[in-house]
Chains A and B, each alone.
Chain A
C-alpha cells in the first residue's frame, strides 16, 4: 500500500510536469485566430499571414473558422470553446460586427488579450484594431475605374450579400466615387451575394436590359470575374473592378481582362494582428488602431501580389506603426 501510493504520486507528478512544463515555456504560446469562413481566399491569406507571423515569433497558432460560412452561432460556440482552452491571446474577426459582442465580453471577462482584425466589432475591449476601411477601399477602387472610363459612360454595381455590412460599406464607397464623376451614369445596383454564379446571372440579366454598359463595380473579385464571364459570353466588353486581389483576379489583371482590384491584404492583416497580440503579451506599446492603407492593384503594381501567399514574408511592425 505504501509503495503503491508513492508510485501513484510519482506518476501524477510526472504527468503534471509533462503537461505543465511545455505550457510554462514562453515559446509555443497559444494564440487563437478567428476568421470568417473557409471559402473566401481572402481569409486563407489572413490565416497564412497569422501562421507566418506565428512561425517567426515561435507561437502555436490555432485557427477557428465556422464550417458554415459567416455563421454567427458557430463562431460564438468557437469563442466559448477557445476560452476554455486558455490561449495566451486571441486574434478575432467577428462574422457580424454587432452580434458577437457578448462573445467578446466573455473573452474580456476571462482576461485574455484580444486583437480585433479586419471587421471592426461594435463592442468589446480590444488591444487594437488592425484593418482597412471597406468604404475608403471601395472608393479608391471605384475612382480607378471611373478614371479609366474617362469620367463618362454607364456603370453597374454588383453588390455583395444583402444586409451584410461589408457590402453596404463597399457600395457606399462606390457611390462616393460616383459622386465625384457626375458624367458617369449608374444604371443599376443589384446583389450578387458575393457568389460568382449569381453575379454571372445578374450580369446577364443586366446586359439584356442595358445595351451600353461601360464599367462594372463589383464588391468582390469572385463577382467581378463572374460579371466578366457574362460579358464575354454576350460578346460585350466593359471595364471591371473587384475587391480582394485574389490570385485569380491578379491573373485576370495580368491578362488585361480585369482592370483592377482593391486590396484588403488579408495576409498583412493576419501578420500584423498576430504581432500586435504578442506585443500585448509582452506589455509593449500597441496603438489603438493600425490601419493598412487601401491599395488599388492594377497592371502597374501587381507584382508583389503575384507571389503565392505562403511564400510571402510578413511586413515589419515599424512599416505600419511609427
Chain B
C-alpha cells in the first residue's frame, strides 16, 4: 500500500522539480557530506574565518569556470582560460603600474580577456576549427605572449583601492564572494530565462537542429567564447587584487581545476546539460579538499591522491544517483 501510494507521489515530485534539480541536490549533498566530515575532524573548520576563506578561494575558481561553463554547454571547450587569465593579468598589471589607475587596469584586463575570447569564438564559429584545437592554440599564443611580456620578472604592488576587490570586506563578507554570488545569479537568469540562454542549451544538445530552427548559431558561439574570455579577464582582476603581483605562468595551474569544477558540477562535456549552480558546487568541492588537507596537515605526498580520490567519489555519487533516479522515473 505504501509503495503504490509513494510511487506516484515521488513521480509527481520528480515531474515538478525535474531530475536535474534532484541531481543537483545529490551533488550538494556530496559537498555537505565532505564538510561534515571535515567539521568532525578539525575544530578550525567551522570557524567563521575558515568558512569565509573557503568561499573566497572558491570564488576565484568559480569566476574562471563560469564562462567556461557556458562554453561547455554548447558542447565546446575553452582550454585557454588559464593562459588568458595570465596574459590579461600581466597586461593589466603593466597598465596599472604605468598609469596608477585601477580603473584602466581593470578595463584592460576585461578587454584583453574578451579579445582573446572573441578570437577563440571567431576560430570556432567562423573558421570552423574544432574548439579543442582552436583554444589549445590560443593557450600557447597567450602563454608565449605572457612569457615574452613578463620575461621571468614580476609586476607587483597595486593601489590599495584596487586591492579591496580581492582582499576587502563588505559588511564582513569578502568582496570576491559577492562577485561569485552576483555572477551566479546573473548567469542563471541569462541561461534559464533568456532566449540567449535557451539557445546555448539547444546548440549544445543538437547544433544542426539549432541552426535549422533559426538560431543564429555562429553569433551565439562567438558571444559565448567572448564571455568565457571576459570572465577570465575578470578573474584576472580578482587574482591581481588578491595576490598583489603578476608573473608569467600564473594562469596555467588554474585550467584543470576550472574544467574539473564545471564537470563535477554536472555539466556534460557533450553539451546541453548543466548549470552555473553546479559549477559553484564543483568549485566548492575542490576548494574544500585543499582546505581539509591543510587543516588536517595531510602529508604533501598524499595530497594528490586525496584530491583524486575525493573527486572520483563525488563523481561516483553523481553517476549512481543519476542512474538510480533515471530508473525510478
Type the 1/0 row for B166-195, where 1 means its CB is closer than 8 Å to any CB of A: 010000000000000000000000000000
Q: A207 contacts which chain B residues (CB < 8 A)?
A: 49
Is B161 in contact with chain A by the CB < 8 A criterion?
Answer: no
Alpha-carbon distance between A44 and B44 when the two chains are bound, in angstroms: 41
Is A205 in contact with chain B by the CB < 8 A criterion?
Answer: yes
Q: Which of A192-212 contact B (CB under 8 A)?
A: 193, 195-198, 200-202, 204-209
Please give the distance in Å from A237's CB to the nearest CB on chain B: 16
Is A190 in contact with chain B by the CB < 8 A criterion?
Answer: yes
B156 touching A43 by the CB < 8 A rule?
Answer: no
Q: Given the known inter-chain contacts A222-B247, A229-B243, please indicate yes or no for A208 contacting B53, CB distance below 8 A.
A: yes
Is A246 in contact with chain B by the CB < 8 A criterion?
Answer: yes
B154 touching A38 by the CB < 8 A rule?
Answer: no
Is A316 in contact with chain B by the CB < 8 A criterion?
Answer: no
Is B250 in contact with chain A by the CB < 8 A criterion?
Answer: yes
A67 touching B154 by the CB < 8 A rule?
Answer: no
Q: Given the known inter-chain contacts A39-B152, A197-B243, A200-B243, please indicate yes or no for A208 contacting B248, CB distance below 8 A.
A: no
Can you spell out 21 A-B residue pairs with CB atoms less than 8 angstroms apart? A39-B152, A39-B248, A39-B249, A44-B151, A162-B300, A190-B294, A190-B300, A191-B300, A191-B303, A196-B245, A196-B250, A197-B239, A197-B242, A204-B57, A206-B294, A208-B53, A209-B42, A209-B44, A229-B243, A229-B244, A248-B245
Q: B151 contacts which chain A residues (CB < 8 A)?
A: 44
Alpha-carbon distance between A233 and B176 when the two chains are bound, in angstroms: 13
B243 touching A44 by the CB < 8 A rule?
Answer: no
A201 partner, pick from B143, B290, B300, beta carbons under 8 A: B290
Is B291 in contact with chain A by the CB < 8 A criterion?
Answer: yes
Further contacts, 10 of them, CB under 8 A, given A188-B294, A201-B290, A209-B295: A38-B249, A44-B153, A67-B143, A69-B249, A190-B300, A200-B243, A204-B57, A209-B44, A209-B294, A247-B153
B49 touching A159 by the CB < 8 A rule?
Answer: no
B152 touching A41 by the CB < 8 A rule?
Answer: yes
Type the 1/0 row for A226-253, where 1 means its CB is closer than 8 Å to any CB of B: 1001000110000000000011100100
Q: Given the known inter-chain contacts A67-B143, A233-B167, please indicate yes or no for A208 contacting B247, CB distance below 8 A.
A: no
A208 partner, pick from B152, B157, B250, B295, beta carbons under 8 A: B295
Alpha-carbon distance between A208 and B290 when the two chains are bound, in angstroms: 13
Please give the distance in Å from B238's CB to the nearest CB on chain A: 11
Alpha-carbon distance between A38 and B290 when the two chains are bound, in angstroms: 27
B243 touching A205 by the CB < 8 A rule?
Answer: no
Q: Which of B151, B152, B244 has the most CB of A within 10 A?
A: B152
Q: B154 contacts which chain A residues (CB < 8 A)?
A: 41, 222, 246-248
The count of chain B contact residues (Cβ–Cβ below 8 Å) is: 38
Q: B250 contacts which chain A residues (CB < 8 A)?
A: 195-197
Please give the distance in Å from A175's CB to the nearest CB on chain B: 13
B300 touching A189 by the CB < 8 A rule?
Answer: yes
Main secondary structure of the interface of A (DSSP, over half): helix
Alpha-carbon distance between A67 and B300 when the two chains are bound, in angstroms: 26
B152 partner, pick from A38, A67, A190, A234, beta carbons under 8 A: A38
Is A285 in contact with chain B by the CB < 8 A criterion?
Answer: no
- Counting from the closest, the 8 A-B pairs by CB-CB distance are A44-B152, A205-B294, A39-B249, A191-B300, A208-B50, A209-B44, A38-B147, A162-B300
Alpha-carbon distance between A204 and B85 when the two chains are bound, in angstroms: 22
Q: B247 contacts which chain A residues (CB < 8 A)?
A: 39, 41, 196, 222
A162 touching B304 by the CB < 8 A rule?
Answer: yes
Q: Which of A159, A189, A197, A225 has the most CB of B within 10 A?
A: A197
Is B144 in contact with chain A by the CB < 8 A criterion?
Answer: yes
Is A125 in contact with chain B by the CB < 8 A criterion?
Answer: no
Alpha-carbon distance between A272 and B120 when the two chains are bound, in angstroms: 45
Is B297 in contact with chain A by the CB < 8 A criterion?
Answer: yes
Is B301 in contact with chain A by the CB < 8 A criterion?
Answer: yes
B253 partner, pick from A188, A198, A204, A234, beta carbons under 8 A: A198
Is A150 in contact with chain B by the CB < 8 A criterion?
Answer: no
Q: B242 contacts which chain A residues (CB < 8 A)?
A: 197, 200, 229
Is A60 in contact with chain B by the CB < 8 A criterion?
Answer: no
Alpha-carbon distance between A162 and B301 when the two chains are bound, in angstroms: 6
